[in-house]
Structure 1
């Protein structure tokens, strides 16, 4: 078995911790508890006939002007950038935010996830997609357990590239 460090990054309150809790523990809580610094969870997954122990670093959310310690990003094999479909400020500046993460981590590709699908209609989700000039890899709902497993599977596949 190989161990791979993966990052979940994005603005505060977008649902990074909820996605991790849903994936690792199959739990969801409506309570919002802000992550301070970084929290690490683990889960073993199978990908391409390989067992991978994902060391999932839940990096505290920030505002655009806040800096995240570079040390959090060192040695990462893959990253998932999470934004909140229902909060425009979390995706308006996506290209710049992704570039900062790429510069800090050295990663070239990230899994881009729009979370909180359960808060919007299909039409509203299409409107969000039209505002974003990037390819969104997955639309998820940690609350309804929609596409969460798929998002982490994509993340695991990124670690093997």
Structure 2
């Protein structure tokens, strides 16, 4: 079995911890508890006949003017940038945010995930997709367990590149 360090980054309150809890524990809570610093979880996944232990670093959410410590990025093999589909401020400068993550991590590819699909109508979702400056890899809902596993499997795949 191989172990791969992967990161979840994005603004505060976008649902990074909820995605991880849903993926690792199959649990969801409406309670918001802010992550301080970094929290590491792990789960073994199978991808293309390989067992991969994902070491999932849940990096504390930031606001626009905060910087994530570079040390969190060391040794990361893949990263997921999560934004909140219902909060425009989390995706208006997506290209800039993702560019910062690429610069800090040295990763060429970042998985981009729009979370909280359950809070939008189909028309609202389409409007968000039209506003976002980068291609969205997956639209998820941690609450409804929609596309969560797919998002982490994409992360596992990217960690092997």
TM-score normalised to structure 2 length: 0.99
CA distance in 2, matches of 1:63, 1:33: 16
Q: Work out whether 1:66 is the aligned partner of 2:83.
A: no
Equivalent residue, structure 2, for 1:20: 20
Q: Work out whether 1:134 is the aligned partner of 2:114.
A: no
Asked whether the equivalents of residues 18 and 29 of structure 2 are also in contact (C-alpha less than 8 Å), the reply is: yes
Asked whether the equivalents of residues 92 and 133 of structure 2 are also in contact (C-alpha less than 8 Å), the reply is: no
CA distance in 1, matches of 2:133, 2:68: 25
SS in 2 for 1:102: helix
Cα deviation 1:32-73 (Å, max 9, x = unaligned): 000000000000000111100000000000011101110000
Equivalent residue, structure 1, for 2:29: 29
Cα deviation 1:124-149 (Å, max 9, x = unaligned): 00000000121100000000000000
Q: Work out whether 1:90 is the aligned partner of 2:90.
A: yes
CA distance in 1, matches of 2:67, 2:86: 24
Aligned residues: 161
User: What pairs with 1:1-161 in structure 2 (closer than 5 Å)?
Assistant: 1-161=1-161
SS in 1 for 2:112: strand
CA distance in 2, matches of 1:47, 1:35: 29
Dislocated runs of 4+, deviation >2 Å: none
In the alignment, structure 2 segments of 5+ residues that lack a partner are none
SS in 1 for 2:113: strand
CA distance in 2, matches of 1:83, 1:32: 16
CA distance in 1, matches of 2:114, 2:67: 22
TM-score normalised to structure 1 length: 0.99
In the alignment, structure 1 segments of 5+ residues that lack a partner are none
